[in-house]
Structure 1
Amino acid sequence: MIVIDQVSKQFKDKKQLVKAVDYISLNIKEGNVVGLIGENGAGKTTLLRMLCTLIAPDEGTITIDGDNIYTHKEKVRHRLGVLFGSETGLYNRLTARENLEYFGSLYGMSAHDIKNQIEMLAKRFGMRKYLDRRVEGFSKGMKQKVAIARTLIHDPNIVLFDEPTTGLDITSATIFREFIYQFKGEGKTIIFSTHIMDEIAQLCDDIIMMHKGQIVYEGKLEELYETENSRDLNYLFTSKIVRGDLYV
């Protein structure tokens, strides 16, 4: 269970303070696939960066299974896999295998466990043909597969993705969605932001709608459809912004 309690974060922009996340509270259940939507600047990426301990909130707390993620950073980080959009985190001069070995070692994995995990991920993601090639020559889709494998090398139970299909071709985006189905079947908790409403509709159990750092809806996708008597997510999101809805 992820518990976000009255979390806020602000930044300076041209000598002005901008509140990126404005005292939000959420409970995210284990094993759920959660979609995070909102316009650019809504606070989605800031929220995800706080969840993965890259930045700390100004106020409020975040706990995972009862552990405060800022006082137990190392313990929490071993439970998390993180991929931020086009930031693959890969080293171009290394092969795909060498990249995975390096990141596995950062998590304190043994050489034996790293080798077994790489073999499993290479088979699962169809990477065997280019596992020992340098990453610098890879297509975007190939890099994305290695980046997802890098995210999963230590077998995390919570995975955070920030707009993971941005810039991918149809085939690569479809492969990513298939990965989400697989992760869900393994009981992993997935939180991902996207501007593609079809991804939310196809993949998610729950949805979080953000607007100007605040929550306008948080809950089951099917309950949202039923309450609003519509399955058009673009319309539903726009409607909640226009109405000024705030989730309580």
Structure 2
Amino acid sequence: MTTDLAIEAENLARSYRTRTGWLRPQRKTIEAVRGVHLAVGRGELFGLLGPNGAGKTTTIKMLNTLLLPTSGTARILGYDVARDALEVRRRIGYVFGGDRGLYERLSALDNLRYFAELYGVEPREQLPRIQELLETVGLSGREKERVEGYSRGMRQKLHIARGLLHRPQVLFLDEPSIGVDPAAARELRRVVADLVAGGTTVLLTTHYMAEADELCDRIAVIASGTLRAEGTPAELKDRVRKLDVLEVEVHDAVGPEHLQRLRDTAGIEQATVETSGTVDVVTVHARPSHGTHAAVLAALADLRTGKVTTREPTLEDAYLSIINGTTTGSA
């Protein structure tokens, strides 16, 4: 079976029935994913971004046969994920963030030998394949150490090696760099980029916008179970290119009333705050205007403000704009 698309989803949906309460229990349906459409080409690195609870992991689990869709269809390399689950599993790898999925008291080498047996790798191919993957992910020379002594970054590299043992054509990476230090995250990005250069199709979820901007050919943003936007990183950033992005350092605590005051100000589309050390940084997206700076400072007049800077919009700005509903649709 041949197709130019590695991953296809049409109106993909998944809902759950939950029960709440003890004395008078009530049942309700939660729609985790609602009508998702995807088309990912062979050899593409496709990013799926969204806040916690948006439906990213549920979507991936439907695509890799761990969950059955409530409705809609999905195909991997032309094989239906519901009807042809075994054929799909032979062609995919799944790597998730965190510490699960490895045997702590075994060495990396023994872990990979065990999973090679599970994945049906031919016995005569196992050791050469394992050595190749250890070299690929940068664990050569450390393979005989117990996993319990590995750092978070080393564990993630081992997860990737495990997911590649059977030479999958499609690899799902679900937040692979979560909790990893910057140096290890850079190494993981190099490994992923090399995989794609070698022809592997990768679907990546991440909360790190710089990582998605650097790696992904195209990105889809999901929120509340629905796709809000899709395009290249440049196309998504173009959505907010028309806006000024102002950052204001504030030396007092910024409360919800200050953010609401900013959001109610004419010309301001979005206002958020993050704490950086002892300073709050207010980020404002506003339509270009000579009075923008004055309007922002007026809304924060009862606080001690410091440096005000204007910068180019980033992928993170575009992402926040999309999930907050100030820009929607395909790029």
TM-score of the superposition, structure 1-length normalised? 0.93
Task: Name the CA distance, whole Å, in 1 between partners of 2:239 and 2:154.
Answer: 41
Q: CA deviation at 1:228?
A: 4.6
Alignment of 1:134 with 2:133, yes or no, is no
* Cα RMSD, aligned residues only: 1.8
Aligned ranges 1:81-160 → 2 under 5 Å: 81-160=93-172
Aligned to 2:30: 18
The one-letter code of the counterpart of 1:7 is: L
Specify the structure having the higher radius of gyration (Cα).
Answer: 2
Partner of 1:209: 221
Other structure's SS at 2:172 match: strand
Instruction: Return the alpha-carbon distance in structure 2 between the equivalents of residues 78 and 61 of structure 1.
Output: 19
Q: Following TM superposition, by how much is the alpha carbon of 1:244 offset from its aligned partner in structure 2, in angstroms?
A: 6.3
**Deviations 1:34-58 (CA, angstroms, capped at 9, x unpaired):** 1111111110110011111111110
How far is the alpha carbon of 1:224 from its aligned partner?
2.8
Quote how far apart the aligned CAs of 1:94 are: 1.8
Q: 1:65 to 1:124 in 2, by over 3 A?
A: closer
**1:243 match: secondary structure:** coil
- SS across alignment from 1:209: strand
Query: What is aligned with 1:234?
Result: 316
- Which residue of the partner structure matches residue 11 of structure 2? 6
Structure 1 runs, 4 residues or longer, greater than 4 Å off: none
Asked if the contact 2:97–2:156 (Cα under 8 Å) also holds between the matched residues in 1, the reply is no
Provide TM-score, normalisation by structure 2: 0.71
Counterpart residue identity of residue 98, structure 2: S
Aligned mates of 2:110, 2:65 — CA distance in 1: 26
CA distance in 2, matches of 1:238, 1:122: 38
> In structure 2, the residue corresponding to 1:146 is in which secondary structure?
helix
Distance 1:196 1:79 in 2: 27
Distance (Å, rounded) in 1 between the aligned partners of 2:128 and 2:169: 18
Which residue of structure 2 aligns with residue 169 of structure 1?
181
Percent identity, please.
34
Q: 1:214 to 1:246 in 2, by over 3 A?
A: farther
Distance in 1 (alpha carbons) for counterparts of 2:85 and 2:119: 13
Bigger proportion of residues as strand: 2
The structure showing larger relative contact order (alpha-carbon pairs under 8 Å, at least 6 residues apart) is 1
What amino acid is aligned across from residue 4 of structure 1 in structure 2? A
Q: Deviations over 1:182-231 (max 9, x none)?
A: 01110111111111110111111000100100011122223333455365
Partner of residue 69, structure 1: 81
In 1: Cα distance, 2:17 partner to 2:223 partner: 19
The answer for the alignment partner of 1:45 in structure 2 is 57
Residues 244 and 35 of structure 1: is their aligned pair in 2 closer, same or farther, counting only changes over 3 Å?
same
1:179 aligns with 2:261: no
Shift of 1:126: 2.5
- Distance in 1, matches of 2:330 and 2:235, equals 14
Comparing 79-88 with 27-36, which one deviates more in the overlay?
79-88
Aligned residue identity for 2:140: R
Contact 1:35–1:204 at 8 Å: present in 2 too? Answer: yes
Cα deviations by residue, 1:161-200 (Å, 9 ceiling, x for unpaired): 1111111111111110101110111011111111111011
CA distance in structure 1 between the partners assigned to 2:321 and 2:158 by the alignment = 39
| Unaligned runs of at least 5 residues, structure 1 | none
2:328 maps to a residue whose letter is: D
